[in-house]
Structures are given as structure tokens and as C-alpha cells.
Amino acid sequence: MLMQPNNPLHGINLENILTYLLEHFTWEELHSKIRINCFCNNPSIQSSLKFLRKTPWARKKVENLYLRTKSKYL
């Protein structure tokens, strides 16, 4: 397995990112931070993963929020 020291998301999958964010925020808070409908219309991890996997711009916003949140709580 290749090491990627400059990639802080290496080895972390999208489901882990979303689960981590939900430990710190409610669905409503996530929606207020990232305005995407999968966080406000019948939100669930599975439906959000489905949307985020096929929507690169939304996934990038979620990853960025994860990195900001992770650095805040370290």
C-alpha cells in the first residue's frame, strides 16, 4: 500500500467521514453548514452517501468540513 503523507484523507472512507460529522453535528446543523438537500429532506447516512458519491462538489465540501472539524477537536 502506498503512503500518502500529504493526503489527510488517505485511508478514511466517506461513510467514516459522515459518521464522524454526525457525532459532532445534527442533520440540521450539517445542512446549515453545507447547503445540500440530502441533509434536510429525509436525511440518512445511506441516502447521503449515495448522493455524495456521485456529486464531487458536494463530497469536497463534506471532506473540507470533516478536516476543519477534525483539526478543531484534536
pLDDT greater than 70 at residue 3: no
- Quick one: angle between helices 56-73 and 45-53, nearest 10? 120
SS (H, E, C) 4-48: CCCCCCCCCCHHHHHHHHHHHCCHHHHHHHCCCHHHCCCCCHHHH
The tens digit of pLDDT for each residue in 14-67 reads 999 999 999 999 999 999 999 999 999 999 999 999 999 999 999 999 999 999
pLDDT-based confidence at residue 7 (cuts at 50, 70, 90): confident
Residue 48 near residue 18, CB atoms below 8 Å: yes
